[in-house]
A and B are shown apart, each in its own frame.
Chain A
């Protein structure tokens, strides 16, 4: 048991560190360091624009999508080298936010199911950030039950014609390509009639509408498809095999470890260290300490859980669904921490104010944003099902729609 680099790892780290030191956009360091809780604030620059510049620079020097093969724009690096890179990239890694869905989910799916031509055409540009990808899975009536999706793709000659609607699509408004799962046969049970595609987001008939969220921001979109034509060459996997293709996508999501999960603990620690209550600093209050310590212990544990995953990866083992705990724990913790931070502020906690830059102001935003952390990418309840079924081996839910043709499943509760 050790945390030391092997000589090869140390050499790799040194090379990475030198390159970053010579090439990183240092003028953004202060702002990026201040950006926390998964939100990036750059005063005068657009994150996508700055992110693309950094990504391209990395790709040109072989530092983008490190674990991908070189012929597809990667470096052929080991999982552990990727982790070392992320550690060294530090705050600049926040600039990769617009590319994470592409790198973590869309790219690996294309790599597993795309033709050689498609892989050579699309993957290097995805890796270099020149083309951004989004993921079109969720629908208004297919959230946790994503296999219940309705968007139709019908075969017309060598093409597919798509009609329907997707929702919760992060980055759709600046994406060039999308990974799309659609129903190609409504006459068979729901899991069996799905097919995976990718498409040009600028295709005629694609309309992206931003969603105004409960926290007042606009980060997600609805995407409407009206007679959108997709060539059959952009199908990934066999017709009717879309569900198993999507499982590959989702498994890769779990493989993309090292994703920086915000817990709110460092912010809360700092806040309590400075907040003056009637009897002194908040951090000297036993009740505050008790809560803070439990959160800190959890946050440490998440870090070391990811180290255990990295160790397993480096031995060639495949991380399993046990990785689901990261989001489950951090999502709830963020919400609890935000609520308690406001409690400590007393009556004034209600004010959202304009001092969002200060640590104090962040908690109000965190409170308003945190519900999404417990929903996006698998709700808390779905994650608990995954743990219960795939880790603990408990029975799957009784699925009343399992053997029913999709078009015979009821669509309204009452």
Chain B
């Protein structure tokens, strides 16, 4: 057994950390936070040049052809840096959907442009309130045109194309749902930016009016493909969350060492120490489940659905826990716009909802464990 990343993968992680420390300082994140730019274009370009956007895309489609373990270590660093770029939408959702279900022509058209940083992609799934479920997909597809409204769509306002879940049947079964690929610049899709918890990552409403779309994957297979995409994204997002949790813990620890009150470092008070110890425990548990998810993802193991749900739950809890208590350790200063604590708090709580909420994944984990026990 070797339940760890390889030396090469660790080296890649160091490389990504160094790159992001240089190109994605909190000051750079604040440009997007304060609404001066929709995302960090320079950083996006740099990520493409480093080969990070296409790290898990095969070489024949313009990527580095490394693999998902490599993508996991980069994801962790993206989370640590709170990077204000459409990485998860483009790389975990759009690219993975194409890799799973895309035709050769679709892959050839979009994957190289993802790897090169020219195209931003996203997944348009949600239609208002509710978690991922075939029942919640009302947008219709008929004769190659889509009609309906998707919101929220992560990074929708800056995306060039979207993978859209659409209703193509009314039998009440999963096979009512099919996926479509839409060029958002091709007309028929009207995009409106929405305000959200985490301004460093945009959210949008997209209205499709007789919008031309091409099928992605077989008709009626949409939900099954989507489930696979969400599982993969759950693992990759878990690494981002672990990176964010670790950074929030580190910020809290550093502040507890610097800040003096009652004549001593506040980190010498057990109430503070124990809070930080509990944050470490959450972050460690999340990391361990994420590693298992990474293994399942990289080997396409039968365990992936259960591993992904467990990683998603632990990582969501850990990031929320660490981000929340990081503010608590900082006291009043943690509640200022000037300190960076709130950026992680915002990101943690936005990420907790992006692929479906915690309760959704809890439900999924139990369902999947039952299936395994029954088998």
- Give A277 to B343 CA distance when docked, in angstroms: 43
> When A1-B3, A308-B288, A328-B281 are in contact, do A393 and B253 touch as well, CB less than 8 Å?
yes
Residues of B within 8 A of A298 (CB): 285, 314
Q: Which of A2, A322, A328, A385 contacts B273 (CB 8 A)?
A: A385
- A109 to B54 alpha-carbon distance, docked (Å): 53
Residues from chain B with a CB closer than 8 A to the CB of A9 are 1
Min CB gap B239→A, angstroms: 13
Point out the residue from B2, B289, B299, B313 that lies within 8 Å of A293, measured CB to CB: B313
* Contact with B257, one of A325, A387, A394 (Cβ below 8 angstroms): A394
Residue B284 lies at the interface, judged by CB distance under 8 Å to chain A: yes
B292, A293: Cβ atoms closer than 8 Å: no
Measured between beta carbons, the chain A residues less than 8 angstroms from B362 are 289-290, 292-294
> Taking the complex as formed, is A226 at the interface, i.e. its CB lies under 8 A from any CB of chain B?
no
The proximity string for B residues 230-246 relative to A, scoring 1 for CB distances below 8 Å and 0 otherwise, is 00000000000000000
Shortest Cβ gap from A338 to chain B (Å):
20
* Minimum distance in angstroms from A329 CB to a CB of chain B: 6
Question: B6 at interface (Cβ–Cβ under 8 A)?
Answer: yes
Residues of A within 8 A of B106 (CB): none
Q: Which residue of B lies closest to A291 (CB)?
A: B362
B180 within 8 A of A: no
* Residues of the A chain whose Cβ atoms lie less than 8 Å from the Cβ of B314: 297-298, 301
A1 to B9, CA, bound (A): 10
Q: Chain B at the A interface: mostly helix, strand, loop or mixed?
A: helix
Q: Which residues of B are found within 8 Å of A3, using beta-carbon distances?
A: 1, 3, 295
Given A290-B362, A296-B310, A297-B365: A308 and B291 within 8 A (CB)? yes
Say if the beta carbon of B317 comes within 8 Å of chain A.
Answer: yes
- A388→B264 CA distance, assembly (Å): 16
For residue B19, CB closer than 8 A to chain A, the reply is no
CB of A387 within 8 A of CB of B369, answer: no
Give the distance to chain A from B247, nearest Cβ to Cβ, in Å: 14
How far, in whole Å, are A290 and B310 apart by their CA atoms in the complex? 12
B195 at interface by CB-CB < 8 Å? no
Docked complex: B291-330 residues within 8 A CB-CB of A: 291-292, 294-295, 298-299, 309-310, 313-314, 317
Task: Name the distance in Å between B117's Cβ and chain A's nearest Cβ.
Answer: 28
**Complex: A315 Cα to B5 Cα, angstroms:** 13
In Å, the complex CA distance between A269 and B363 comes to 13
* Neighbouring B residues of A300 by C-beta, 8 Å: 289, 292, 310
- Write the chain B residue with the least CB distance to A389: B273
Known: A296-B366, A388-B274. A322 touches B253 (CB 8 A): no
Quick one: which of B1-58 are within 8 Å of A by CB?
A: 1-6
A322 to B284, CA, bound (A): 9
Q: C-beta contact mask, A75-97 vs B, less than 8 Å → 1, else 0?
A: 00000100100000000000000
| In the complex, B177 has a CB within 8 A of chain A | no
Distance from A65 Cβ to chain B, minimum over Cβ atoms (Å): 21
Residues from chain A with Cβ under 8 Å of B281 in the complex: 325, 328-329, 387
- Known contacts: A289-B362, A297-B289, A329-B285. The answer to whether A1 contacts B276 by CB under 8 A is no
How far does the alpha carbon of A307 sit from the alpha carbon of B299 in the complex, in Å? 18
Q: Which chain B positions have C-beta within 8 A of A310?
A: 1, 3
A292 to chain B, nearest CB (A): 6
Q: For the complex, is A223 an interface residue (Cβ under 8 Å from B)?
A: no
A157 CB–B CB distance under 8 Å? no
Q: From B2, B277, B361, B366, give the contact of A283 (CB < 8 A).
A: B366
| Distance to closest chain A CB from B146 (angstroms) | 33
B288 and A397 within 8 A (CB): no
* A residues in contact with B363, CB < 8 Å: 286, 289-290, 293
- For residue A395, which residues in chain B have a CB less than 8 angstroms away from its CB? 257, 264-265, 267-268
Partner of A294, one of B6, B277, B286, B313: B313
The 11 sampled A-B contact pairs (Cβ below 8 Å) are A2-B2, A273-B373, A292-B362, A293-B366, A298-B285, A303-B288, A308-B288, A384-B277, A385-B270, A393-B253, A394-B273
Which A residues fall within an 8 A CB radius of B? 1-5, 9, 80, 83, 269, 273, 283, 286, 289-290, 292-294, 296-298, 300-305, 307-308, 310-312, 314-315, 322, 325, 328-329, 381, 383-385, 387-389, 391-398
Told that A289-B363, A302-B285, A385-B273 touch, could you supply 8 new A-B pairs with CB distance under 8 A? A1-B294, A3-B3, A294-B313, A301-B310, A308-B4, A387-B277, A389-B273, A395-B268
